[in-house]
Structures are given as structure tokens and as C-alpha cells.
């Protein structure tokens, strides 16, 4: 995967040949004591040109006609002479000044003013300066675009402020320092009429939308690119060297940028995780089609257990599930099953053990018929252990207090934390119990041991 895109500034270089290439993931760092290049053709290594308690600035020469000021974010803070998004920037041989935060302090004005005095001789060499960044770095791009003489400022999911007096957003309020960040919000006097501003954000993500709506009125000439269902992960979703290069160099064209963004996000796992989480429960049919049609190859830890359960319910309910569907979602199945006679719940669905989610659930007969490989009937017997049949061998179900179900062969010993799930036969219905709790189902097929009474939804009958 390409390295993550964060913050940059770029311009048209008037001097210099810059040629050092280093990887963002290269942990070997070095410094040199070269002066600012005053002659054409001088080649430089990376060196620290400014540092205080809050930020560090590193200069890296390239051969392009662009200067990039690359701002780190809350996660990618200062480490040696590492520069944020260095791999992508080096690929296009940009001249770079990496501005990396040493603290989670949102680029305080005092540090940025001191940095500007050092940057003046660098900035004077370029007629075009573009800022590009996200989150804490996005805030800095918008806030200091005028100070740093940017001609383009591209900010991903920027904050307007982290001062709890300024915004309802409390994600970063713990980092607010009244001494460092007093009066930190973006103001109209921070905005340059000569700078082109582009903001990329998810209009459905409430916290980022609040910050965007406070910034928007300050910039009459603002360009906005929406990235729905990306949450605060816009930078990760659009991680691409080519797209970074476009944001720095390509003239703004909304149609062009949306096309490039679509090409990047459609192959991005972060994007689909956000889409899945967003669509669950409201647009399940559409989500089922996405999961079936998209060529994902995820590992087993990409989705947590609850999300896996919801995803497999959608697949089982809307589409026939096959091995390929489950493998590309990182969901493994340990054993095949055969369809058996089932108990019917109050809502007309049938009780099964789902070997994908390892849960007791209920489904319509149609869903069970087309997914019988994964849905195992609860065996209907007299009062006693609750059994299922796997590979022509009986297993009984046991559970612990965290409602984790395990399968045991008939003569296996239980572990100390497990208790068997008991099927109880009454004259007109069956009950499944764990200790003093009865299993109940709901209209959506979710089953939980949450009931200590004999309500209608805990009674199961033979079909």
C-alpha cells in the first residue's frame, strides 16, 4: 500500500538541484550541516533547520520546481529526520521541508512564527507554494496558509479548533493547552485571497462536519471535495503517491479529482470498512451486493467479531454464500454441516447454529435452504443437552458467561468456565436455557440468553 498522505506545501523553485530519496519506512536517519543552497546544482542531504519544544523542521532537496512543506499529524510525530509522506514525495523528487510535531499541541502560533523567520529564505525562492495535509496537519495548512505564502492549501479533515469553547467536538480537547493554544481558532484574517483552498472531508461524519462548517464561511473561494463514508480516515483512504502529486501540481478540476479519488478509494480496505459500518442495518441489500461484487482480500483480524457476525447475516440473508465470499472477507469456516429439522420461533424463523459466527440464530427457511452448508439445525430431542450434527457426529453446545459458545463431543469434559445449553421440552413448546436464562429471538433473527421468564419469543415449536 502507498504511504499515508498528510501535509504539504509546494511552489516553483527558482534554484537548486535536489536529489535525496528516502523511504517513509526507513528507520535510518542522518543529518548534515549544509547551508541553504545559494547556487544551482548544489546537492543536499536532509538536515534539521529548525527545532523548539513543539515542532521540528527538516529540509530535503529534490529536483522539481516545487517546494513541499510536509506536516505530520497526531500519529506521525517527529522521529529523527523522518518526514511525513517522504516515500511519495521522493518518488516525484519534490523539494521538501517536513514540519513534524514533537507534541500533540496543534502547531501553536508561537512556534510557527519562529519557524517562519527561518523559512523566509527558502520560501523566497519559490513563486508557487501549495499546502497539503490532514487532521492536525490540515488545521495547520488552513491556519498558516497566509503566513507561509501558500498559493494552494489542501487540507484533509481539518479542525477549526480544539478549544472546547470553540467546538462541540471533544476528540482532541484533552490536548488543548490554554497557554499554547489560546485564541487558536481559524480566523478570517488567517485567510489569503491569493491562496486556493481545497478541503476534503466526509460530510456524513458529524465531528468533521462541525469543523468544516465553521471554516467554510471564512473562505469564500473554498473548493470542497466530499469523501462519503470515510469518517476521519480520509488520508488513509486516499493514500496514493499519484493522487498526492495531483493535489500538489494539477489545476483544480472537480470532475478530474473525483475521478482520481474514486480510482484510489475503490481499492482501499479502510474505505470499505467504513462503508460497511455505515450501511449496516439501513442499506443491507446494497451492502450485500458490495460484499459479493468487490474483490477484497482481507485478513482475519480486519473485522471484529461483532462486525463479522453482522456481515455474515447480511450475506446469508441476501445472497448465497460461497467459500470465496468468506475468504475475501477474512472469515474462515472450520467444518461443514448438514441441514436438519429445526425449531421455529415466534416470528416464523427457524433456529440454527451458525458455524461462521459460532452463534445460535434464526433464519427464514428460504435462507437456510440456500445456505445450508453453514447453518446447522438444533436437534429436537427430549429434555437434555442441546445437540447439533457435524460430519455425522453429534456435538453438544456449551457456553460461558460472556455468551461464547463452544462445541463438545458427547464424551468430552467441559472446561471450568463452560456450562451446557439445555433443551427443555414442555407440553406445547421447547425452551433453550443457559443456567437460569432462557434464549429469546427477535424479528431480525438475533438470539440471546437474556430472559428469565416464559415470554412468547423464548418459546420454540416444531415446524
Are residues 137 and 69 located together in one domain of the fold?
yes
Walk across the sheet containing 447-451 and list its strands.
384-385, 422-425, 430-434, 437-441, 447-451
Residue 271 lies in a domain: no
Mean pLDDT, the chain, integer: 83
pLDDT for the residue 25:
34
Shared domain for 182 and 306, answered yes or no, is no
Last residue of one domain, picked from the residues 217, 239, 255: 255
pLDDT of residue 114: 97
Does residue 26 lie in a domain region? no
pLDDT tens for 223-278 read 999 999 888 988 888 989 999 999 999 999 999 999 999 999 877 777 777 777 66
Residue 173's domain comprises 47-255
pLDDT at 164: 97
Establish if 20 belongs to a structural domain: no
- Read off the CATH number of the domain in which 401 is found: 2.80.10.50
363-411 pLDDT per residue, tens: 998 898 888 888 888 988 778 999 998 777 889 999 999 999 999 998 8
Number of separate helices (H) and strands (E) present in the chain: 13, 22
182 and 231 both lie in a single domain: yes
Do 352 and 206 sit in the same domain of this protein? Answer: no
Residues 313 and 404 in one domain: no
Give domain status of residue 200, yes or no.
Answer: yes
Closest alpha carbon to 391 in 357, 340, 350? 340
Tell me: do 319 and 357 sit in the same domain: no
The CATH number covering residue 101 comes to 3.40.50.1820
Q: Measured on CA atoms in the order 350, 353, 357, 359, is the torsion positive or negative? A: positive
Residues 6+ apart with CB under 8 A from 373: 321, 336, 337
Q: What is the pLDDT of residue 341?
A: 62
In a domain, 38, yes or no: no
How confident is the model over 44-58, as pLDDT tens digits?
A: 478 999 999 999 999
Query: Is residue 274 domain-resident?
Result: no
Do 155 and 284 sit in the same domain of this protein? no
Number of domains the chain is built from: 3
Q: Are residues 221 and 324 in the same domain?
A: no
Tens digit of each residue's pLDDT (9 = 90 or more) over 149-204: 999 999 999 999 999 999 999 999 999 999 999 999 999 999 999 999 999 999 99
In 3D, which of 202, 336, 225, 172 has the Cα closest to residue 275?
202
**Confidence check: pLDDT of 319 > 70:** no
Query: Are 359 and 410 members of one domain?
Result: yes
Domain assignment present for residue 3? The answer is no
Q: Are residues 319 and 352 in the same domain?
A: no
Q: 165 and 302: one domain? A: no
Residues 217 and 316 in one domain: no
Amino acid at each position: 500500500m502507498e504511504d499515508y498522505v498528510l501535509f504539504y506545501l509546494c511552489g516553483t523553485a527558482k534554484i537548486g538541484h535536489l536529489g535525496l530519496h528516502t523511504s517513509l519506512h526507513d528507520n535510518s536517519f542522518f543529518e548534515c550541516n549544509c547551508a541553504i543552497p545559494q547556487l544551482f546544482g548544489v546537492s543536499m542531504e536532509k538536515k534539521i533547520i529548525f527545532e523548539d519544544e513543539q515542532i521540528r523542521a527538516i529540509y530535503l532537496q529534490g529536483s522539481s520546481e516545487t517546494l513541499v512543506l510536509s506536516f505530520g499529524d497526531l500519529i506521525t510525530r517527529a522521529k529523527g529526520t523522518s518526514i511525513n509522506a517522504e516515500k511519495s514525495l521522493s518518488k516525484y523528487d519534490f523539494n521538501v521541508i517536513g514540519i513534524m510535531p514533537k507534541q500533540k499541541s496543534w502547531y501553536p502560533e508561537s512556534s510557527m512564527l519562529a519557524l517562519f523567520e527561518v523559512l523566509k529564505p527558502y520560501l523566497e525562492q519559490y513563486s508557487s507554494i501549495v499546502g497539503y495535509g490532514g487532521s492536525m496537519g490540515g488545521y495547520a495548512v488552513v491556519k498558516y496558509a497566509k503566513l507561509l505564502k501558500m498559493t494552494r492549501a489542501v487540507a484533509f479533515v481539518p479542525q477549526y479548533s480544539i478549544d472546547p469553547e470553540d467546538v462541540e467536538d471533544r476528540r482532541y480537547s484533552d490536548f488543548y493547552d490554554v497557554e499554547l493554544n489560546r485564541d487558536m481558532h481559524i480566523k478570517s484574517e488567517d485567510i489569503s485571497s491569493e491562496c486556493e483552498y481545497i478541503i476534503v472531508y466526509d460530510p456524513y461524519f458529524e465531528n468533521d462536519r462541525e469543523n468544516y462548517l465553521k471554516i467554510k464561511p471564512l473562505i469564500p473561494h473554498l473548493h470542497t471535495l466530499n469523501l462519503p463514508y470515510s469518517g476521519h480516515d480520509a488520508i488513509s483512504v486516499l493514500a496514493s503517491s499519484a493522487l498526492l502529486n495531483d493535489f500538489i501540481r494539477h489545476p483544480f478540476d472537480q470532475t478530474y479529482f473525483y475521478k482520481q479519488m474514486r480510482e484510489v478509494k475503490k481499492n482501499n480496505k479502510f474505505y470499505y470498512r467504513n462503508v460497511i459500518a455505515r450501511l449496516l442495518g439501513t442499506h443491507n441489500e446494497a451492502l450485500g451486493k458490495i460484499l459479493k461484487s468487490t474483490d477484497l482480500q482481507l485478513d482475519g483480524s480486519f473485522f471484529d467479531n461483532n462486525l463479522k457476525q453482522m456481515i455474515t447475516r447480511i450475506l446469508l440473508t441476501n445472497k448465497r454464500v460461497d467459500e470465496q465470499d468468506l475468504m475475501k472477507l477474512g472469515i474462515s469456516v472450520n467444518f461443514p454441516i448438514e441441514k436438519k429439522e429445526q425449531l421455529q420461533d415466534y416470528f416464523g424463523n427457524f433456529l440454527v447454529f451458525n458455524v461462521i459466527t459460532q452463534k445460535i440464530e434464526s433464519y427464514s427457511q428460504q435462507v437456510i435452504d440456500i445456505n445450508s452448508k453453514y447453518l446447522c439445525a438444533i436437534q429436537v430431542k427430549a429434555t437434555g443437552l442441546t445437540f447439533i450434527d457435524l460430519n455425522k457426529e453429534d456435538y453438544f453446545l456449551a457456553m460461558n458467561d460472556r455468551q461464547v459458545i463452544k462445541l463438545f463431543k458427547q464424551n468430552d469434559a467441559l472446561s471450568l468456565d463452560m456450562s451446557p445449553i439445555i433443551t427443555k421440552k414442555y407440553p406445547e413448546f421447547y425452551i433453550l436455557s443457559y443456567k437460569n436464562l432462557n434464549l429469546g429471538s427477535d424479528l431480525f433473527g438475533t438470539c440471546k440468553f437474556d430472559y428469565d421468564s416464559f415470554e412468547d419469543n423464548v418459546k420454540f415449536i416444531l415446524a
